Amino acid sequence: MKLYLYGIINSSDQIKESIYGLEGSGVYNIPLCDIGAVVSEISQPIRGVTKGAVLEHEAVVEKLMENFTILPVRFQTIIDGRDNLLSMMQSYYKDFKDNLERLHNKLEFGIKVIWPADKVKENIIKALKKGGQRMPESDSSVSKRFIKEKFEKYEIDKEFEAKADRFIKVMDIFFSKFAAEKKLGKLKTENLLLDAVYLVEKDRQNDFREAFEHIKNAHTGLKYLFSGPWPPYNFVVLSKKSGLLRDSEQADLFDKVTQCQTLVGADSI
């Protein structure tokens, strides 16, 4: 039985609501100890990334986010059979548990900022011209002129990046006040000054939103994008890259898990 995996949740309970995922299949929880893997059964292999499937997948994860802490799983992760799923859960158990605890009650927000790169560079060129040139004018060789041109461009780029850093710092100081964690992408393109994600506690999301509005109103020459709340896609940290455990690790984990299973079993009787 092929299981389409949506996310890992901090619960071994069954999902009370009726949630439907890909192929309209019912979504349910396969527990292991005190966590669970939320899946639905899938019959057809997925042909590529379609808008419909992506939206269905995301909708399921967001629905689960309402009642659980969830570690969202990458799109189109299909596990071959329940046994394999449980085995995978076992080997990742510690990683999943750590992440679920760390990300509990937190939401991800995205902020992107566009600035007018061309105008910024124009201003820099003007400023540099005023400051005078560094290279002597007397160069006549092709090679030397090449270097001179490259160097001028280098100076402009350098100042461009320095300006970006300053801008980002100003904004980040504001947003960080309400964030537990963050990831900042600087100048992914010339115009995309900032592509950031922030991990914010649920209770502080309004403060965070206000901080964003404040910056937006303070710096009006820029363009802004605000997104969220999202499940914590950007803040899941897995120490284990593959599902393979060394034998001794496997034995330790098995002991911990069976103890847990025993406890869980006793409670549910």
Q: Is 130 helix (H, G, I), strand (E, B) or coil?
A: helix
The first and second tokens of residue 160, run together, are 């461009």
Indicate the residue among 149 and 263 with the shorter CB distance to another protein: 149
Residue-wise DSSP of 116-177: -HHHHHHHHHHHHHHT--SS-TT--SHHHHHHHHHHHHHHHHHHHHHHHHHHHHHHHHHHHT
Residue-wise DSSP of 7-21: EEES--SPP-S--B-
Residue 108 CB: number of other CB atoms within 10 A?
22
Indicate the residue among 74 and 130 with the shorter CB distance to another protein: 74
Indicate the residue among 141 and 268 with the shorter CB distance to another protein: 141
The only residue of 170, 173, 218, 238 in contact with another protein, by rule CB under 8 A: 238
Q: Is 45 helix (H, G, I), strand (E, B) or coil?
A: coil
Residue for token pair 């069976």: 258
CA distances (Å), origin 42, targets 11, 20, 49: 23, 12, 15
Indicate the residue among 31 and 229 with the shorter CB distance to another protein: 229
The first and second tokens of residue 259, run together, are 């103890």
The only residue of 23, 25, 46, 219 in contact with another protein, by rule CB under 8 A: 46
Residue 228, interface with another protein (CB under 8 A)? yes
The only residue of 128, 156, 180, 192 in contact with another protein, by rule CB under 8 A: 192
Indicate the residue among 150 and 202 with the shorter CB distance to another protein: 150
Span near another protein by CB under 8 A; candidates 44-52, 169-177, 246-254, 260-268: 44-52
Residue 112, interface with another protein (CB under 8 A)? yes
User: Scanning residues 47 to 106, which ones bind another protein (CB under 8 A)?
Assistant: 47-49, 51, 54-60, 62-63, 71-81, 84-85, 87-88, 92, 96
User: Scanning residues 148 to 187, which ones bind another protein (CB under 8 A)?
Assistant: 150-151, 154-155, 185, 187
Residue 242, interface with another protein (CB under 8 A)? yes
Residue 119 in contact with residue 163, Cβ under 8 Å?
Answer: no
Span near another protein by CB under 8 A; candidates 39-47, 124-132, 200-208, 246-254: 39-47
Total site size for another protein, rule CB under 8 A: 79
The only residue of 226, 252, 255, 262 in contact with another protein, by rule CB under 8 A: 226
CA distances (Å), origin 227, targets 34, 51, 191, 198, 215: 31, 19, 19, 10, 15
d(CA 259, CA 61): 30
